[in-house]
Amino acid sequence: MSADARGLLLEMFDAAVAAAHPRNCLAPHLPPVPAEGRLIVLSAGKAAIAMASVAEAHYRAAGIGDRLMGVATAPAGYAAAFSGPRPEHLQILEGRHPVPDQTSQAAAERALAVAGSARPEDTVLVLLSGGASALWAAPAEGLDLAAKTALTRGLLKSGADIHEMNAVRRHLSRIKGGRLRAAAAKAGTFITLAISDVPGDDPETIGSGPTVPDPTTLADARSVIARRSDRMRELELPVPDAVMSALDDPANETPKPGALLFSGDRYRIIATPVAALEAAAALARARGYEVKNLGDQVTGEARDVAVAHAELARKARAAGRRLALISGGELEVTVRNRAGRGGRSQEYALALACALDGLTGVSALGADTDGIDGGDGQVSDPAGAVIGPDTLARAQERHADARKALDNNDATTLFEALGDLVHTGPTHTNVNDFRVILVEPA
């Protein structure tokens, strides 16, 4: 892969991330300073600290620092990795992502308590971003965190998509599916600003919709379990009995659209995958590439999508086009080897390299805009990987078999050996996956 191609791939990724960073998109949407009462900020997700930092700086400059309070919850390690001004009036907590633990439960309990303290003269401002579902984990009554964690792990490993995951999680929680809003029922004003990480930008899906009504039902959640349970058993991650009991309990049904609770609330999405893709596309056009945007809602098995995209690249090269193929959306990985290391973006990149089979003039990047792709959710995990025409040949020179690595879901090990991992650390935003293929004419 040429240095120029590699450089442009990384620049396009950076442009997509920058378009969705709170420092560039949050301040214009912050509500006016309330005339009276407290401004209670509740922030959660991978952008939580950055959003809290921007909000606090904005309101302190407006002179209401003494009326500002709240809490922000981010994944473990994000606070140390944050280089911006640290909030002083907003408490910073950390939880575990993607599988919640006791710190996630403690953070959720704290958020619920702060929301419950709201009074008619107070304004509640919720700042949401991708990752909030795991970071705010308050199991439904009668369900312990261990059972909920086991279910989350099983659903992730079975290939469940974000809509399936959240339909279940909303019905097993005391904070998701509109229940955070219910906790703050006495608040005079209630506003949510969100950075979307989901295809379609559905408010009920972002962070599992803690502040909005839930259109799904307990029956929908049970259907997800029915579809995924066989695969979970194969992975030796069966559905806990307590989960099924909770999903059979009518008390765990969520507030629905049309409920009086939500009348007068404001909800605004301030950054989207679409805008991030367009920022990258503009950069490619400026460098002389025709752009084909496949959209922000590309879903499916990562290796299958890669094969389809490889065919598009092959046809473009044969037609003599200088083309940038970009796409977003959240792919799936069906885990075949639990010992393998990787994530959906790295699996896509490796599958793409295998499908292209050394085709000259084609380079690509697959990375997660939050800076962490797969792994254990550690801040040291890679964001994704880059590939070029020489990827398979260089692997062979190192006595590595790219196709075997793909079969074993072990993309990280291969790309690590090649020096082709993309490492950014936490980006403090999240608008889902970003993929680009650069095609030079034959």
**Residue 236 lies inside a defined structural domain of this protein:** no
Six token digits for residue 271: 């950054």
**Residue 297 lies inside a defined structural domain of this protein:** yes
**Nearest CA to 78 among 46, 112, 105, 37?**
46
Number of domains in the chain: 2
| 193 and 300 both lie in a single domain | no
Could you list the pLDDT tens digit for every one of the 442 residues in the chain?
788 999 999 999 999 999 999 999 999 999 999 999 999 999 999 999 999 999 999 999 999 989 999 999 999 999 999 999 999 999 999 999 888 899 999 999 999 999 999 999 999 999 999 999 999 999 999 899 999 888 988 998 898 887 898 899 899 999 999 999 999 999 999 999 999 998 789 999 899 999 999 999 999 999 999 999 999 999 999 999 999 999 999 999 999 999 999 999 999 999 999 999 999 999 999 999 999 999 999 989 999 999 999 999 999 999 999 999 999 998 989 888 878 899 999 999 999 999 999 999 999 999 999 999 976 778 999 999 999 999 999 999 999 999 999 999 999 999 999 999 999 999 999 999 999 999 999 8
**Residue 198 lies inside a defined structural domain of this protein:** yes
- Looking only at the bridges linking them, the beta strands covering 384-387 and 90-95 are unpaired
Q: How many CB atoms are located within 10 Å of the residue 423 CB? A: 12
Q: Under DSSP, is residue 126 helix (H, G, I), strand (E, B) or coil?
A: strand
Computed from CA positions of residues 103, 107, 110, 112, in that sequence, does the dihedral angle turn out positive or negative? negative
**Residue 84 lies inside a defined structural domain of this protein:** yes
Give the domain range for residue 352: 3-13+274-439
| 262 and 293 both lie in a single domain | no
**Residue 354 lies inside a defined structural domain of this protein:** yes
**Residue 154 lies inside a defined structural domain of this protein:** no
DSSP string, 241-253: HHHHHHHT-GGGP
| 286 and 201 both lie in a single domain | no
- Write down the pTM of the prediction: 0.92
| 68 and 128 both lie in a single domain | yes
Cα angle 120, 213, 30; round to 5: 55
Q: What pLDDT sits at residue 375? A: 66
CATH code, domain with 302: 3.40.1480.10
| 314 and 380 both lie in a single domain | yes
| 62 and 102 both lie in a single domain | yes
**Residue 145 lies inside a defined structural domain of this protein:** no
| 34 and 9 both lie in a single domain | no
| 8 and 92 both lie in a single domain | no
Place of tokens 């044969």: 318
Six token digits for residue 180: 């955070």
- Residue 3 makes CB contacts below 8 A (sequence gap 6+) with none
DSSP string, 283-329: HHHHTT-EEEE--S---SBHHHHHHHHHHHHHHHHHTT--EEEEEEE
**Residue 158 lies inside a defined structural domain of this protein:** no
| 126 and 32 both lie in a single domain | yes
